[in-house]
Amino acid sequence: MKMKTMMAAFGVLFSVHALADVTNAEKLVYKYTNIAHSANPAFKAPSITDGKIFFNRKFKTPSGKEAACASCHTNNPANVGKNIVTNKEIPPLAPRVNTKRFTDLDKVEEEFTKHCNDILGADCAASEKANFIAYLLTETKPSN
């Protein structure tokens, strides 16, 4: 898909709730989509469905336990989460609910690398990051 078509597709996808400033989160989706597309031309656009599956999928962690992103961030990224290790509250990940999310690009890279390594035992692929943030952008209603 041409870059222009891709941008248009995102425009439609993300123009629905333009209330909170989620520009950086959207930029990250473009960025990771471009990286994923260069690595695998078949990856043309982020998948919200795949992002949701990824968020809830249980992985066997390097320490032998089962955990999903949802284990700490709850099954709704708009919710306040709870760290299963420290019991501390985690502000919502969904950028439309928590506008501080995805504002600092270096922090995002750092957290992704750390969490992906903790959970998957390796960094997440660019396609997984694109899908993940695209999914987070769709969650707007806390349920806890």
Determine if 90 is a binding residue for ligand HEC (CB under 6 A).
yes
Task: Give least dist CB 5 to ligand HEC, A.
Answer: 27
d(CA 86, CA 84): 6
Q: Among residues 62, 57, 61, which one has the least CA distance to residue 73?
A: 57
Q: Where are the beta strands (DSSP E) in 10-133?
A: 59-60, 66-67, 81-82, 89-90
* Helical spans, DSSP H, in 57-104: 69-73
Determine if 111 is a binding residue for ligand HEC (CB under 6 A).
yes
d(CA 41, CA 1): 9
Determine if 108 is a binding residue for ligand HEC (CB under 6 A).
yes
Determine if 126 is a binding residue for ligand HEC (CB under 6 A).
no
Q: Using CB under 6 A, which of 22, 37, 71, 135 touches ligand HEC?
A: 71
CB closer to ligand HEC out of 107 and 141: 107
Determine if 116 is a binding residue for ligand HEC (CB under 6 A).
yes
CB closer to ligand HEC out of 12 and 63: 63
